[in-house]
Structures are given as structure tokens and as C-alpha cells.
Structure 1
Amino acid sequence: MDYNLTRKFADSWGLLAMALFSVAFVFRPGSRRQVDEASQIPLKDD
């Protein structure tokens, strides 16, 4: 695989795959507590 082919793949299907994985990771069963804890990280120093 050369650079141009890899770049085209990453710009189209790679981006779509990462977006779908991220959405599935956030909305999986049992992740509510982890998402809530992660959302509070920027506020811990205040």
C-alpha cells in the first residue's frame, strides 16, 4: 500500500469507522458511570 491509497482510506472509511466505534463505545450498556466520571475531569481542580 502506498501513501496515497492509505490517505484516501483514512479520509473516508477510516474516519467513518472511528466515528461509529466512538458512538458505540459511549452508548454501550453500563457506560453511563464512566462517561459521567470522564465529564467531571476538567472540573476536579476547581
Structure 2
Amino acid sequence: MNETYSAFAGFAQTWGLLYFMILFGIVLAYALWPKNREKFDEASQIPLRED
């Protein structure tokens, strides 16, 4: 049983790290994409608006 756990833990750590790195790259690309700049600039001004 201990071998199974160690194998699964190693698999999860390796592929989990790869998965989250890819996900982070996608989110970063989305946030920095020039087409989305206006949307994020507008959203950043929401706390400063007075209704």
C-alpha cells in the first residue's frame, strides 16, 4: 500500500505542478492580452467612482 501511495503522490505532485503552471500561463496571457486592456482599465476605476 505504501508503494501505491508514493507512486500516486509523485504523480500528483509532478502533473499537478505542470497543470497549475499551464493554468497560470493562460490566466496571465488573458490578463495581459492587449484586447482586454480597456475592460481591465474600466474595472480598475470602479472603486473610485462616486454614485
- Shared fold per TM-score greater than 0.5: yes
Q: Which runs of 5+ in 1 are unaligned?
A: none
Q: How many residues align?
A: 42
Q: Which has the higher relative contact order, 1 or 2, with Cα contacts under 8 A spaced 6 or more apart?
A: 1
* Pairing 1:29-44 to 2, within 5 Å after superposition: 29-41=34-46, 43=47
- TM-score relative to the length of structure 1: 0.55
Cα distance 1:15–1:28, how it changes in 2: closer, same or farther (>3 A)? same
Larger-gyration structure (1/2): 2
RMSD of aligned Cα (Å): 2.7
Query: More helix by proportion, 1 or 2?
Result: 2
- TM-score relative to the length of structure 2: 0.52
Q: Does the residue aligned with 1:22 lie in a helix, a strand or coil?
A: helix
